Amino acid sequence: MEDEDGEELVGGENLQRMKNVGNETEFVEKGMSGDIVQIESTGFDIPKGRGHRTKRKSRPLCSPFTDPTKRRKLSDLDVYDPYREVDPSKVDDLNKWMEAASTSDLVPLHHCDVEAKSLLDLLNKDAHGEWQIHAQSPRKEEFKFSKSLLKYVDGSIPELGKCWKDCRYLYAPCCAIGSHWFAVKIDLEDRTIFIFDSLKSHVRKAELEAFMKPLQVVIPMLMKLHVKCDDSYSTEKFKFVKMKEVHQQHNGSDCGIFTIKYIEFLQANMDVCAIQPEYIPMWRKKLAAELLAWHFEP
């Protein structure tokens, strides 16, 4: 078989063209797109005909993206791993952003904008960061308390939320006395609120009781009216229990990252006692990088 130039063609769907260049013979592959790519050259004449096709390395294995020597097996990204290293590309982006960032800048995230100072404070273990959130397209009707609360109950918010009818446990961050954060796990069946606090001595008993009362009262009312829809469901207050076996922070500014990790560990059914203060700097950096990239790995 010959092509338009009179050169002999061998092969099937991807045609090979043998060209004589001096005493050497080059194999050239013509793909379906019409591109010509040189595969290899030899120093002797290649026998022609059936049974004499030259074996050569598979082209995909020549790619640096599929080179077996560079290939590494990734862990299961569907499984929550709190100790997984942060993506190096996200760290690079974070470092570049920090070089040019001003504390007065607004950083656009997925649903809102936050002040750059908030991200910078997240990386500072001694900073008492207060997140200033700016709604991107505020509409008054979205901020009516009752409607927003009912959206949580029916699972329409947040993204990937679930209706309370399909849940036994609720997890929430709580901020008491202005700036101290702790996590709560609410058992809807046992009517109990479990408190996970990394600085237990910060909130006095009377202050905690006053802070928890709205949760104790509102949740059973929501369950009766919008979840169970049953007049016989009791609206008696939920009880709360302060968990004792949790590690405590070593400073006055790590309560926020402890709260995030409590919720992550609890929903993954992992032991919260594994949350150690020495891991906090790594988790701060990872969270800042993933917030900036708005891409989160489990």
Confidence of residue 39 (pLDDT cuts 50, 70, 90): very low
Residue 20's beta-bridge partner residues? 25
% of the chain surpassing 70 pLDDT: 63
For residue 269, give Cα distances in angstroms to 186, 263, 266, 282.
Answer: 14, 10, 5, 22
Q: Could you tell me the two tokens for 249? A: 């922070």
Q: Where are the domains of the chain?
A: 9-62, 88-293
pLDDT at 145 over 50: no
pLDDT at 12 over 50: no
Q: For 111-130, what is the mean pLDDT? A: 67
Contact residues for 160 (Cβ-Cβ < 8 A; gap 6+): none
Measured between alpha carbons, how far is 205 from 9 in angstroms, rounded to an integer? 88
Neighbours of 54 (CB within 10 A): 13
pLDDT at 298 over 70: no
pLDDT at 183 over 90: yes
Measured between alpha carbons, how far is 261 from 264 in angstroms, rounded to an integer? 5
Contact residues for 291 (Cβ-Cβ < 8 A; gap 6+): 109, 119, 122
pLDDT at 131 over 60: no
Contact residues for 205 (Cβ-Cβ < 8 A; gap 6+): none
Measured between alpha carbons, how far is 168 from 15 in angstroms, rounded to an integer? 63
pLDDT at 195 over 90: yes
The residue among 169, 197, 203 whose CA lies nearest residue 183 is: 197
Measured between alpha carbons, how far is 22 from 26 in angstroms, rounded to an integer? 10
| Alpha carbon of residue 256 to chain centroid | 18
Q: Provide the pLDDT for residue 80.
A: 75
pLDDT in tens, 256-277: 999 999 999 999 999 999 999 9
State the pairing for strand pair 9-11/15-21.
Answer: antiparallel
% of the chain surpassing 90 pLDDT: 33
Measured between alpha carbons, how far is 270 from 131 in angstroms, rounded to an integer? 28
Q: For 96-104, what is the mean pLDDT? A: 76
For 88-293, which CATH superfamily applies?
Adenoviral Proteinase; Chain A (3.40.395.10)
pLDDT at 226 over 60: yes
Measured between alpha carbons, how far is 182 from 264 in angstroms, rounded to an integer? 13
Q: Provide the pLDDT for residue 194.
A: 97
* Widest distance between CA atoms in the chain: 96
Neighbours of 202 (CB within 10 A): 17
